[in-house]
Amino acid sequence: MPSTQKDLTSRDRLAVALDLPNEREAMKVVDRLGDTCQWFKVGLELYYAAGNSIVQQLRDRGFNVFLDLKLHDIPNTVAGAVRSVAEAGASLLTIHAGGGAAMMSAAAEAASAPGSPRLLAVTVLTSMDSNELTGIGITAPPAEQVLRLARLAQASGIDGMVCSAEEVATLRKETGPSTLLVIPGIRPTGSAIGDQRRIATPAEAIARGASMLVVGRPITRAYDPVEAARAILQEIEHAQTAAR
């Protein structure tokens, strides 16, 4: 991806989440979207079903792949997983910032090899709010916990972070203009919230400093996925123009 926000096009900023149960269903969505979108996110559900095959298929068609595996294990295991993923050709890979500095540093070192994906540290899941955090022993509010983990990730050599739109403005100010900030929980106006808690529209997220937006069900389950994707791309473009 380009190194600054101003260099990004609307197609650079949208990743369609293929949160589908198998390769066949995923590729049906990809076929319907055609060349409307450039980035596709492959998460745990699809990756466990299809493995590196789905990554390679998308790459063979000229798409960029965001592999959302949220790696969280001992440093040596995560470093090995990063090296394995590099062979498949994914452009982005997520790890959990909650794994700590040693784990993230090991992942960053593994990702320094040629052809490796850029790493994103997941801070606090967008499905979690203060009550959810309290339930796992974290008394800080989500925004404070996100900032703490983002600082730790940046100090550990990680390229970017995943956070909600509620925290992105703070992280943009804290981490600088070149940090890749990826925002899930994006819901166009009128869309169902689903299991997300901390959400925003595409325009709101871009205005606050997001680099890339992740959108799944509002596109993949739309009556016309191409039209849904184009509407989001247009909203991103308008937000970019307004921010200049």
For residue 27 the two structure tokens come to 């590729």
Q: Rg (Cα) of the chain, in Å, rounded?
A: 17
Query: How far apart are the C-alpha atoms of 209 and 170, rounded to whole Å?
Result: 9
Catalytic residue, from 28, 41, 70, 173: name it. 70
Return the SS3 of 46. helix
DSSP assignments along 58-92, one per residue = HHHTT-EEEEEEEE-S-HHHHHHHHHHHHHHT-SE
Residue with tokens 């076929």: 31
- Residue 173 a catalytic site member: no
Q: Is the dihedral of CA 56, 7, 37, 34 positive or negative?
A: negative
For residue 76 the two structure tokens come to 């040596």
Q: What angle do CA 239, 63, 179 make, to 5 degrees?
A: 50
Beta bridge partners of 96: 122
Cα–Cα distance list, 178 to 4, 112, 121, 210 (Å): 5, 18, 15, 11
Give me the active site residues, please: 70
